[in-house]
């Protein structure tokens, strides 16, 4: 099964393509969609949509997994993240790729065994689970962790959370 993992952010969205077969997974692709501060929100969303469309066309994921929203003290940050998530979810929907949501805590718990694991521990476990030779950027690691969490949910190792 090929899964698209997404760590949504306006200026640095992490995208990961995971291929899982049997008991083994491998990283097919990972990237961060970086958009400079000088670009307006609409351009950021367009670039994110374009990259998601391109990855879906190239890899044909069966499903997508996105990091769920969590509590924000700043409503503006929550609104912006909602815009990015909406863009990604609608892009997947147009391509008939079902989207599942997992909290950051759940993804960390799933990959490391501890929901409050630091980023470096998550990165080491993602690298080990996918036999990656080098540490990916944090946003890519998070996208792979979300994809791995989804695969484990699909295999019955954790509850499945559809959007």
Q: Does residue 7 have an active-site annotation? A: yes
Rounded distance between C-alpha atoms, residue 152 and residue 78, angstroms: 28
Does residue 135 come out as left (phi exceeding 0), alpha (psi in the -120 to 50 range) or beta?
beta
Q: Does residue 134 have an active-site annotation? A: no
Say if CB 135 and CB 141 are below 8 A apart.
Answer: yes
What letters, b where the CB count within 10 A reaches 16 and e where it falls short, cover 117-154? beeeebbbbbbebbebeeebebbbbbbbbbbbbbbbbb
Q: Which of 19, 63, 101, 139 is catalytic?
A: 139
Q: Which of 7, 19, 63, 101 is catalytic?
A: 7
Q: Does residue 67 have an active-site annotation? A: yes
Say if CB 85 and CB 33 are below 8 A apart.
Answer: no
Closest CA to 143 of 32, 60, 34: 32
Q: Which of 63, 67, 101, 142 is catalytic?
A: 67
| Residues carrying an active site annotation | 7, 67, 139
């Amino acid at each position: 099964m090929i899964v698209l993992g997404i760590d949504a952010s306006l200026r640095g969205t992490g995208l990961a393509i995971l291929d899982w077969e049997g008991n083994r997974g491998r990283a097919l692709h990972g990237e961060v969609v970086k958009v400079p501060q000088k670009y307006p929100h609409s351009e950021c969303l367009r670039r994110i949509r374009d990259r998601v469309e391109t990855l879906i066309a190239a890899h044909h994921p069966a499903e997508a997994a996105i990091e769920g929203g969590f509590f924000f003290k700043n409503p503006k940050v929550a609104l912006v993240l909602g815009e990015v998530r909406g863009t990604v979810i609608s892009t997947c929907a147009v391509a008939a790729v079902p989207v599942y949501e997992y909290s950051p805590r759940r993804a960390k718990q799933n990959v490391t065994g501890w929901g409050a694991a630091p980023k470096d521990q998550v990165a080491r476990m993602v690298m080990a689970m996918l036999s990656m030779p080098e540490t990916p950027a944090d946003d890519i690691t998070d996208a792979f962790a979300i994809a791995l969490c989804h695969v484990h949910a699909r295999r019955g190792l954790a509850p499945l959370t559809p959007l």
